[in-house]
């Protein structure tokens, strides 16, 4: 499989924000977001991915025996669904959360406890795409750069009939100041529409430092 890194930290976003987790970051992505904070998983000039045997991944996860919450992220993890299924078989009692852009058909539904689907709208610089990862295990996270983003995001929510209680809106930013500048207007919009607000705890705590 193509792996980027494995580390122990705190989940910074979405439904499980604040929970300790082991992050398994897969390499490669099918999208190229202008605001991506993990370009090192896909950008030709910056990538430090490596090809590994799945047994090496198992060994790295076992270095954190007291943490049984796995966050499989990327890149785009659903490009390597066989690896996700292999991790589930090896760690059958773990809680497994997958972070995905939602562009892939899901074949590993039974192996995952939660899909955090971060659908990328026009503010990411990507062309529109079909949301294919959509099931009862999903929550849906949208990145907000400016107030103008709300109309497009609400159109996506309406088109796919996403339950408001499963929608998270999150301010974009790779510095503490950037994230905090957007907190108030994103939180106010969530309150007015019944959506969930998510900050970026990892940025507030450590900035854009890797493996944090």
The per-residue pLDDT for 173 is 94
Taking the C-alpha atoms of residue 191 and residue 188, their distance in angstroms, rounded to an integer, is 5
The per-residue pLDDT for 208 is 86
Taking the C-alpha atoms of residue 150 and residue 93, their distance in angstroms, rounded to an integer, is 39
Express each pLDDT in 7-50 by its tens digit.
999 999 999 999 999 999 999 999 999 999 999 999 999 999 99
Cis link prior to 75 (omega < 30° from 0)?
yes
pTM of the model: 0.96
The per-residue pLDDT for 66 is 97
The per-residue pLDDT for 199 is 96
Q: Which residues of the chain have pLDDT under 70?
A: none
The per-residue pLDDT for 95 is 98
Q: At what angle do helices 54-61 and 81-90 cross, to 10 degrees?
A: 50
The per-residue pLDDT for 192 is 97
């Amino acid at each position: 499989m193509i792996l980027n890194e494995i580390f122990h930290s705190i989940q910074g976003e979405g439904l499980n924000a604040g929970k300790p987790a082991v992050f398994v970051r897969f390499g490669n992505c099918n999208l190229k977001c202008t605001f991506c904070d993990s370009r090192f998983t896909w950008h030709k000039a910056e990538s430090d991915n490596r090809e590994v045997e799945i047994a090496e991944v198992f060994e790295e996860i076992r270095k954190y025996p007291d943490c049984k919450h796995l966050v499989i992220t990327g890149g785009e993890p659903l490009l390597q669904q066989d690896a996700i299924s292999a991790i589930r078989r090896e760690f059958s009692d773990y809680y497994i959360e997958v972070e995905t852009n939602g562009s892939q058909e899901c074949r590993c539904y039974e192996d995952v406890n939660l899909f955090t689907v971060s659908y990328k709208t026009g503010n990411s610089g990507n062309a529109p795409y079909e949301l294919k990862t959509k099931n009862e295990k999903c929550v849906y996270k949208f990145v907000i750069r400016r107030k103008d983003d709300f109309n497009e995001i609400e159109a996506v929510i309406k088109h796919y009939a996403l339950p408001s209680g499963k929608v998270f809106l999150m301010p974009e930013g790779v510095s503490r100041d950037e994230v905090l500048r957007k907190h108030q207007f994103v939180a106010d919009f969530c309150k007015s529409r019944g959506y969930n607000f998510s900050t970026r705890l990892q940025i507030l705590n450590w900035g854009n430092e890797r493996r944090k």
